[in-house]
Amino acid sequence: MSALTIKATNSWLILISLTLLSLAVSEWVENPAMMILFVVLAVIIKGRSIVDIFMGLNTAPVVWRRLLLSYVIVVPAIIGAVIVWL
C-alpha cells in the first residue's frame, strides 16, 4: 500500500469513529449544549480531514486551503452558537 492509501484509510477510520462517537454522545449526554459542542467539534475535525486528505488541498495554493478550512471551522461554529443561545 502506498503512503497516500494508508493516510486516506486512516482518515476514513477517524471519520467513521467520529460519526459513531457522535451517535453515542447524542444518546448518552443529557446536556444539549455539551452535545452540540461535541458535534460541532467533530464536524470541524471531519471537515479538516476531508479538505486536507480527500480533496487534496494540503498541497493546493494557500489561499484555497485557508478559504475551505475557514469555511469548515466558521460555519459549524456559528450554527452551534446560534443553536446554543436560542
Give the model confidence (pLDDT) of 24-58 as tens digits: 988 898 888 888 888 889 999 999 999 988 898 88
Q: What is the pLDDT of residue 58?
A: 85
| Predicted confidence (pLDDT) at residue 16 exceeds the cutoff of 90 | yes
| Predicted confidence (pLDDT) at residue 86 exceeds the cutoff of 80 | no
Q: Parse the chain into domains and list their residue ranges.
A: 3-85
* pTM greater than the 0.85 cutoff: no
Matching residue, cell 461554529? 77
The pLDDT of 5-29, averaged and rounded, is 91
Q: What is the mean pLDDT of the chain?
A: 90
CB atoms under 10 Å from CB of 63, counted, come to 8
Identify the CA nearest to 68 among candidates 80, 79, 57: 57
